[in-house]
Structure 1
Amino acid sequence: MLRLEGLSFAYPAQAPLFARLNAHVGPGQVLAVVGRNGAGKSTLLRLLNGLLRPDAGQIRIRGRSTSGLKVHEIARDVGTLFQTPEQQLFATRVYEEVAFGPRQLGLANAEVEDRVDLALRRTFLHHQAQRHPLDLSMAERRFTALASILAMHPAVLLLDEPQRGLDRLWTERLEAIIAGERKAGKAIVLICHDMDFVDRNAQMVLALGTGEASAWSTETFFGDLELLRRARVDTPSRLLLSRLEY
C-alpha cells in the first residue's frame, strides 16, 4: 500500500535529516514514526503527501511512484491530519468542511451526502454539522479535520500527533477509528511522541535520528533498550509494569 525505497532528504545548506530510509506499510498496518524533536518526523510526513520532494529514493502508493504526481493527485490516495487542525479548516460549517473533498472528486450529490453522514457519525460530530468548526472544542476541531479525510476514502492515512491533548474519551474514539481503518485495509502512518499510544495501535516503528534506516516491529523496537535510548523515547507503561513483576 505504501513503500519507502531508499528515501533521502536534506534542507538546503543543512546536513541530511535521513538517508536511504526503507519501509513498507501493507493494508491494515500502522507504522509509527518516532524520534527526538528535529529528527525529521514532520518532514517525512510532508514527503509522503507531496508537499516536499525527496533528494533521492522513491515513495510508492499502491505500487505507483509519487515522483511525477502533483499534490492534489497524491491527495486522492493520501489523507493527512496535521498536528494543528486549524491549519486545514476553512469552511464556515462542519458539514461543508467534510463535503468539500468528496465534491472535488465529482461524486453525485447522494454519494457526497452518504460519505459526509458516515464520516460525521464515525467522528461523533453529526450533531455539530451546522456549526462553525472554529466554534468547537479542540478535540472536535481535530475530529472535523479527521472526518474530512475519512470522507475521501484514502488508501493511506498520515496522522501527525493525533492523540495530543485528547482526554480519555476522545482518545478511545480515535483508537476506534484507527482500528476501523485498519479493518478496512487502509495503511496508516502515525507520528507520535506517546509510546503508550504507539504500543496500543502500531505494528511497526520507524525511529528517525538513530542511524537505523529500516522499520522494526513494535515488539522488537520496545525490547531494545539501546535503540530506545538512541531514539530518545520512553518505554511504554505496559512493558515497564511487566518488567517490575519480575
Structure 2
Amino acid sequence: MLTLTDLSFAYPSQGPLFAGLNAQVGAGEVLAVVGRNGAGKSTLLRLLNGLLRPDTGEVAVRGRSTDGLKVHEIARDIGTLFQMPEQQLFAARVQEEVAFGPRQLRIPDAEVKSRVDQALQQTFLGDQAQRHPLDLSMAERRFTALASILAMHPAVLLLDEPQRGLDRRWTERLETIIANEREAGKAVVLICHDMDFVDRNAQSVLALGTGETPVVQTVEDFFSDPHLLRRAHVDPPGRIRLASLGPSQ
C-alpha cells in the first residue's frame, strides 16, 4: 500500500532528520512511528501526504509515486488526522463537515450521503449528525475529523497521536476503528508516544532519532531490544515491564 524508498530530508541550516529511510506498509498493517520529540515523526507524515517533499527518495502509494502530484491528489489515497484535528473543523453541522471531502470528488449525492452515514456510524457519531461540531466534546470533535477522513475512503491512514487526551471509552472506540480499517485492508501509519497503545494496535515499528538509519521492525523485536528503546527515548509497554520482574516470590 505504502512504500518509502531511500527517503531523506533536512530542514535548511540543519542536519538531516533521516537519510536512506526505507519502509513498506502493507494492506491491513499498522506501522507505529516512535521516537523523542524533534526526531522527525510529524515531518515524516508531512512527507507522506505531500505537505513536504523529500530531498531525495520516493514515496509511493499502491505502486504510484507521489512525486509531482498535488496535495489534494495525494489526499485521495492518503488521509491525515493531525495532532489537533478538532481545531480544523469549519462547517456548521457534523454532517456537512464529513460531507465536504467526498463532495470535492464530484461523486453523486446519493454516494456522498452513503459515505457520510457510514463514516458517522464507524466513528460512533450517528446521533450527532445535525449538531454543530463546536457543541461537541473534545473527543467527539476529534472523531468528527476522523469521520471526514474515513468518508474519503483513503487507502492509507496517517494518525498523529490520535489517542492523546482520550478517556478509556473513546480510546477503545479508536482502537475498534483502527481494527476495522485493518480488516478492510487499509494501511495505517501511527505516530504515538504511548507504547501500550502501540503494543495493542501496531504490527511493526519505525524508530526515528536513534542515531542510526531507521529500520522497520516487528513490535516484538522492537520491544525486546532495551538498547534500541533507550536510543529511541521510549519506555517499554506494561507487559514488558511486568515480564522483566519475573515470577512473584
Query: Would you call these one fold, judging by a TM-score over 0.5?
Result: yes
Residue 245 of structure 1 deviates from its aligned partner by 3.1
Partner of 2:206: 206
1:55-204 paired onto structure 2 within 5 Å? 55-204=55-204
Task: Tell me if structure 1 keeps the 8 A contact 2:81–2:158.
Answer: yes
Count residues with an aligned counterpart.
Answer: 246
Per-residue CA deviations over 1:173-228 (Å, capped at 9, x if unaligned) read: 00000000000000000000000000000011000001132211110000000000
Q: 2:47 corresponds to which letter in structure 1?
A: L
Q: 2:95 corresponds to which letter in structure 1?
A: Y
Residue 106 of structure 1 deviates from its aligned partner by 1.2
Return 5+ residue gaps in structure 2 as ranges: none
Query: Could you say what secondary structure the match of 1:153 adopts?
Result: coil
Q: 2:167 corresponds to which letter in structure 1?
A: D
Report the TM-score, using the length of structure 1 for normalisation: 0.98
Per-residue CA deviations over 1:59-81 (Å, capped at 9, x if unaligned) read: 01000111110000000000000
The range that moved more, 86-95 or 98-107, is: 86-95
Q: 1:239 corresponds to which letter in structure 2?
A: I
Task: Tell me if structure 2 keeps the 8 A contact 1:163–1:174.
Answer: yes
Task: Tell me if structure 1 keeps the 8 A contact 2:48–2:59.
Answer: yes
Report the TM-score, using the length of structure 2 for normalisation: 0.97
Query: Could you say what secondary structure the match of 2:127 adopts?
Result: helix
Task: Tell me if structure 1 keeps the 8 A contact 2:86–2:138.
Answer: no
The range that moved more, 88-97 or 143-152, is: 88-97
Return 5+ residue gaps in structure 1 as ranges: none
Residue 86 of structure 1 deviates from its aligned partner by 3.0
Alpha-carbon distance in structure 2 between the residues aligned to 1:134 and 1:18: 38
Alpha-carbon distance in structure 1 between the residues aligned to 2:155 and 2:144: 19
RMSD between aligned alpha carbons?
0.8
Q: 1:162 corresponds to which letter in structure 2?
A: P
Partner of 2:237: 236
